[in-house]
Structure 1
Amino acid sequence: MTLRPANLSPLFASVASLPGVGVGTSLFLSQLEIQRVLDLLWHLPSGILSRQYLPHLSLSEPGQTVTLQVFIKDVQQKNPRAKGPQQVRLICVDAKGIPLHLVYFRLSSQQLEQIVALGETLLVSGKLERFQGVFQMVHPDHVGRVGDEAKWAGTEALYPLTKGLTHRRVQGLVKKALERATPLPEWISKEVLGRYGWAPWHEAVLKVHAPQTEAHLSPSDPCRTRLAYDELFAHQLSLLLMRRTQQEKPGRCLISQDPSLHDRFLGLLPFTCTWDQTRAMADIKAAMESDRAMVRLLQGDVGSGKTVVAFASLLQAVGAGAQGALMVPTEVLARQHAKTLLPWAAALGLKGACLTGSDKAKDRRWIYEGLKDGSLSFIIGTHALIQDEVVFKDLGLVIIDEQHRFGVEQRLKLVQKGKSADVLSMTATPIPRTLMLASYGDLTSSTLREKPAEREPIETSLISLERLDEVMDRIKSALVQGHKIYWVCPLIDESEALDLAAAEARFSALKERAGDASVGLVHGRMSALDRDAVMERFRAGEISLLVATTVIEVGVDVQDATLMIIEHAERFGLSQLHQLRGRVGRGHKRGMCLLLYAKDLSYTGRGRLEVMKKSQDGFEIAQKDLHLRGGGELAGARQSGLPHFRLANPLLMMDLLELAHDEAASLLTSDPTLESDAGKRARVLLHLFLKIQATRYLSAA
């Protein structure tokens, strides 16, 4: 790829390069994801302000933003002799003698002198308030001479703010950023521009920061739509570039020299594989045997049997004389997989191992040696697999479970330990088509929807929180009957601290009622090692009741857990509820799930929870979640690793997303290396949205 075009360089300068932006302001701006000058262009207005000129205050109401002429009668300083900024109150009246106080909480002596130097008659503009029966204007937006009103006329853009920033400050910074933006070569085809009537990029950027009506703030505004399309087009183009480059790489042609391995493995299973599993195994086998490197996604509903498909894929690599690696996000999941996969391997005469961050040096040593000399056919592990000490004799297949939990660099580092290694990513979160396209482009995937025939549906009940005491009282008898129970505490305003407080309070209350049973607690502020230790005690039966925030890992398999209680279920996304429900009923005992809801639950909220009661299909639930809640709140979107967009909401812009995908595919079909005039213009777009570096990660899926 080419170097960044020179006319983009001013936009990629640090925001600290703008006049008056010091360390403090830079820190405040970073809270709004503004670090480069370019980020100010993507920080779109969220409101507008029209300044109305009034001849006198009798025509106004508190809360209005007005411009009017006033006369200074007195200047009151809280401590005139104090050094530094201080509180100042300018006592003024309007043309009818109605009082107006201009209040400054921190005004320097120099700033006060500048105001007084304007004369006794001022023109002021700002938001009116009423305090103790008197109109006041706290920190007026503008103070000037009569005749300045023309400068302040019209509408102003209002921006999302954070502590330490004002609208005037952000407006000024955006203005400076816009001065650095210049017209760019057009990367959108003439046909698409004409169809939607979109303005050129530079004109669109200027217009979105100068809204005149509320309609200009809508996502459907043509200028906003055009910029959203630019972001989606850049994203789809980068995904397709990576995918096609990967597909053009020569594959390993991993053809098993021992076809009986697969059949012998299936013979070990105490059940018959579903049609979905059989088809997925066949598709993955064909992809691994091809002369092109495999990059594939395996997505499956809760309990659909992804582990069986993953192990069959490992056997394909091992049968071809290569090694395999399965990387998972937590030690609990690593040891859980090891408990299942290592006995299967031993029964087939193969040797595998499990490697985590907490393993002792002597245990690691033999694993390192086994991977290097090839005596270990496969490895299961956490981030520990990407350490430099881990060297494979011949890594042929990398499987990444819950792949969105790993950074691109981490995935790449493991894949690069092999020579043209095939990559299979797995997710337990069913992904609707919209999320699939936005997250992965046209990535080839296999989907498991069927459940094993012996897997019984989980009985789901909706219970009002008015019956909370009754539910808690029945916990003791459930524990006596041998139930192993999860109690999930509610999300509270996205605050981890409040979530923890709620979990600790519930933990204490349940401990009092649990009798002799052991109660455990896991939450997001625990270290991974401590959390894994509690989960292991729960799995081993040392803990019978586990109180948790939403850190219960996707995929955690406690076979004898039978009861899931979710408090304030209405605060969770449906996909998240489905994942939590899937933690029980995984063994021979039937699972139950109680969804506790607030007594004032709305009709719509009740309808959402009824979906959980009626359906066990994660894909159906994910689609309904997407429809009911939209993209901004969809828990499943976050769980499935949906990329972060600044200008576009792909979940609400499906038509635009599909157009971007089709246009990107068309461009790369005619110009795979982006060397044509249209391709070079598209390169500018990739630079603009920081997608150029994506080409470094072609193998990381």
Structure 2
Amino acid sequence: MNDPVTVLSGVGPKTAEQLEQMGIRTVADLLAHFPFRYENNEIRPLTDAEHGEQVTIQGDVHSEPELRFFGKKKSRLTVRVLVDGLLVKAVFFNQPYVKKQIALGDHIVLSGKLDRHRLMVNGAVLKPASKLEQGGLEPVYSLKGELKQRTLKKLIEEAFAFAEGRIAEILPESFLKQYKLMPREEAFFYMHFPKDETAFQQAKRRMVYEELLLFQLKMQWFRQQERQADEGIMKSWDKQALRSFTAGLGISLTGAQKRVLQEILDDMRGGERMNRLLQGDVGSGKTIVAAVALYASVLSGFQGALMVPTEILAEQHAVSLKELFAGTGVTVVHLSGSSPAKKRRETLEQLKEGAADIIVGTHALIQEGVDFANLGLVITDEQHRFGVNQRRVLREKGLHPDVLFMTATPIPRTLAITAFGDMDVSTIDELPEGRKPIKTHWGKRNMLPRVLDFIKREAEAGKQAYVICPLIEESEMLDVQNAIDLHSSIESALPELTVGLMHGRLHHEEKETIMTQFQENALQVLVSTTVVEVGVNVPNATVMVIYDADRFGLAQLHQLRGRVGRGADQSHCVLLADPKTEVGKERMSIMTETADGFELSQRDLELRGPGEFFGVKQSGLPRFKVADLVEDYRTLEAARADAAKLVESGSLWQAASCRKLFEQLAAEGLFNNERVD
């Protein structure tokens, strides 16, 4: 299996080089290069096929083929085919030779994408008559260079002949019986040569489970290694003092807040270092939970750090924490990249000597020269905005501090247990009582004058509004309203109101001044780019207008919407957009249908896929060959539970039934301290 592909007949230096470009070096690599899609050669009535579906049809040529050329190499061949009494137009692109292969009256078989509205098959490909008898699924492989589909298929056939009887089973027999899984060699074969839909689905189910189990075993192994090598500090505190602080907050914690707080405090009391993700919807009360955890750390004799992505948010958190800890004797300091030199020196000295109990800041907290006396708890807000290395550097500054990551972008459970498989996940899944749901409306951009009239009425009642747009200045590339122009337009349309402008290019002092004016209602309208997306808290703001809303993802729209609805009054979010794509229209509809961040994140995942949901480069999400994180989430959860049992019990390296599984992971470098994705 690990022999080079050159052992196969027909693989010379040139073919070997082409396969190398595709990451195929061995016979095993070739067998594991599964098709990325399958063409269904089964001929069904057109009335049963969906619009946009790949179909195979047979019929009689009803018109002379018509060939047109565009430029030197592009062509379009059109022919009408009578299929079950329906006249279907078949369109062949860049296949001029097909004209000589068909004639009026011929009975032909072809496949392509069905356009039901125009009764047309686009991107048609002529099939040999034998396909009619063969039927079934035909694999289509991803290729590079000059390699052809038929060449690769022939090589895979040879690889199976060469490896017959040598594709070893790696799953324990108990798993095969429990999940009724197809044997490995059979599954490999039917992934490439499915005799029918049933055989293919069974083969795929087997390979999906195997792929997810191997991945989860790696995650559980790393998790165990980290815990063993990195013992935490068992913290203890005056329980009555913590209860008094919580009771003095002036609010009743929700059931969900109490549950996640208990999970966090249990971690802090334990001997293993906490590595937990706290996720909760906008306004669910994560900051209160963080404050109680920070107080527990201080009561235990340790310092706490809160790192946030923007200076505006750092400033706001510092102010709110100082208010929460007033009268407790807890010292809260603030550090950012723009802190004056003198203040910075004083803050650093307080930290180093232990005079500062809690520090709030941006990534400036991880710079060289920032030293802690006794760091016990690190909380990173909107954690997915920070790189893995930044988090690691901050974590290692103290003596094994507990680590809590927080996000207000709810992550579907599927992704949470994949991207954060080495973390524990806590979820606040309810909002505080008394919060009025934000009413969301979708209108076209030409409705802006009506929206401004509504803003004027709200301002006359003493309320305020945000107006968000994607860009700062005019762009020739995108037809989107820019903040500077929009600010001028709104100032002209609402001369009786004070309209502010904020964007990322302003200096920190300018941003602070504008936000202070808005918080004090010296500004009634704030035109801004997405710098207000996270954390900005102005309870008096009741209107959020998002211009060119179709340019934003669902998660970002939900974050922006969450800037209003923070007070007792009814709030509104207005989406102004003229989406030109179905996805854009779907996004606007979803926003008006639900305000549940978890439901939105699941819908966003379904619309965009996991890579785009997080951004593959930033997320470290694995690229699976067969598995799909959206469709296969139940299998993922089963694989995670199975992997956890095998690693925690030691069966992975002790049980005879797991020997092949262990060898597979060893071959992939798992036990050489390599991080395997």
Aligned to 1:668: 647
Could you tell me which residue of structure 2 aligns to residue 254 of structure 1? 235
| Residue equivalent to 1:582 | 562
Provide the residue aligned with 2:630 in structure 1.
651
Query: 1:175-194 deviations in whole A, cap 9, x for unaligned?
Result: 99999998675432234446
| Partner of residue 188, structure 1 | 171
Say whether residues 1:300 and 2:280 are aligned partners.
yes
**Among 184, 190, 212, which residue is 1:200 paired with?**
184
Letter in 1 for 2:171: I
Distance 1:416 1:325 in 2: 13
Are 2:395 and 1:428 equivalent residues in the alignment? no
Q: Note the C-alpha offset of 1:364.
A: 2.8
What corresponds to 2:131 in structure 1? none
Question: Does structure 1 residue 560 correspond to structure 2 residue 540?
Answer: yes
**Counterpart mapping for 1:7-22 below 5 A:** 7=2
SS at match of 2:545: strand
**Cα distance in structure 2, aligned partners of 1:44 and 1:358:** 53
Residue 254 (structure 1) shift = 0.7
Counterpart-to-counterpart distance in 1, 2:276 and 2:219: 14
Q: Which residue identity does 2:172 align to in structure 1?
A: S
In 2, are the aligned partners of 1:296 and 1:425 still within 8 Å (CA)?
yes
Partner of 1:45: 36
What secondary structure does 1:674 align onto?
helix
Q: Distance in 2 between matches of 1:508 and 1:353?
A: 38
- Give the superposition deviation at 1:395: 1.5
- Give me the whole-angstrom Cα distance separating, in 2, the residues matched to 1:555 and 1:366: 27
* 1:359 and 2:339 are equivalent in the alignment: yes
Cα contact 2:455–2:543 (8 A) shared by 1? no
Aligned-pair distance for 1:320?
0.9
1:226 to partner: Cα distance: 3.9
Alignment equivalent of 2:364, drawn from 379, 384, 398? 384
Q: How many residues align?
A: 589
CA 1:374–1:490 in 2, change beyond 3 Å: closer, same or farther? closer
Of residues 419, 438, 447, the one that matches 2:418 is 438
Separation in 1, partners of 2:189, 2:509: 52
Distance 1:462 1:322, change over 3 A: same
Pairs within 5 Å for 1:38-187: 44-46=35-37, 61=65, 127-129=94-96, 158=140, 168=147, 186-187=169-170
Task: Give the structure-2-normalised TM-score.
Answer: 0.69
**How far off is 1:670 after superposition?**
3.5
514, 517, 521: which is aligned to 1:537? 514
User: CA 1:333–1:363 in structure 2 vs 1: closer, same or farther (change >3 Å)?
Assistant: same
Query: Counterpart of 2:95 in structure 1: which amino acid?
Result: L
The 5 A counterparts of 1:281-320 are 281-320=261-300
CA contact (8 A) 2:463 2:524 kept: yes
Superposed CA deviations along residues 183-213 of structure 1, whole A, max 9, x for unmatched, are 6754322344465554537x766765x5679
Measure, in 2, the Cα distance between the counterparts of 1:539 and 1:299: 28
SS in 1 for 2:316: helix
Greater mean alpha carbon deviation, residues 631-640 or residues 458-467: 631-640
Q: Report the equivalent of 2:302.
A: 322
Indicate whether 1:349 and 2:329 are aligned: yes
**Which amino acid in the other structure matches residue 184 of structure 2?**
P
Please state whether the residue corresponding to 2:543 is helix, strand or coil: strand
Query: More displaced, 609-618 or 361-370?
Result: 609-618
The SS at the match of 2:537 is coil
Identity %, equivalent residues: 34
Q: Deviations over 1:432-464 (max 9, x none)?
A: 443443344485443323433354333334546
> Residue type of the partner of 1:391?
D
Q: How far does residue 517 in structure 1 lie from its aligned partner after superposition?
A: 3.2
- Listed one character per residue, the Cα deviations across residues 497-529 of structure 1 (whole Å, up to 9, x for unaligned) are 63766667655654543436334254xxx56x7
**For structure 2, which runs of at least 5 residues remain unmatched after alignment?**
7-12, 42-55, 75-91, 102-127, 129-133
The verdict on how the C-alpha distance between 1:605 and 1:207 changes in structure 2, with shifts beyond 3 A counting, is: same
Alignment partner, residue 394 of structure 1: 374
- Pick closer, same or farther for the CA change 1:562–1:688 going to 2, 3 Å: farther
1:276 aligns with 2:260: no
What CA deviation, in whole Å up to 9, does each residue of 1:382-426 have, x standing for no partner? 222222322222211121222222232222222222223222222
Partner Cα separation in structure 1 for residue 215 and residue 241 of structure 2? 41
1: CA distance, partners of 2:250 / 2:187: 62
Question: What is the TM-score when the length of structure 1 is the normalising length?
Answer: 0.67
Could you report, residue by residue, the CA deviation over 1:29-53 in whole angstroms, capped at 9, with x for unpaired residues? 8xxxx78979996685346699x9x
DSSP-derived class of the 1:651 partner: coil
Query: More deviation in 447-456 or 326-335?
Result: 447-456
Q: Within 1, Cα distance between the matches of 2:465 and 2:593?
A: 22
Structure 1 residues 530, 687: CA separation in 2 closer, same or farther (over 3 Å shift)? farther
- 1:334, distance to aligned residue in structure 2 (A): 1.6
RMSD: 5.5
CA contact (8 A) 1:261 1:348 kept: no
Secondary structure of 1:656 counterpart: helix
Q: Give distance in 2, aligned partners of 1:695 and 1:423.
A: 23
Change (3 A) 1:344 1:466: closer
Distance 1:9 1:374 in 2: 61
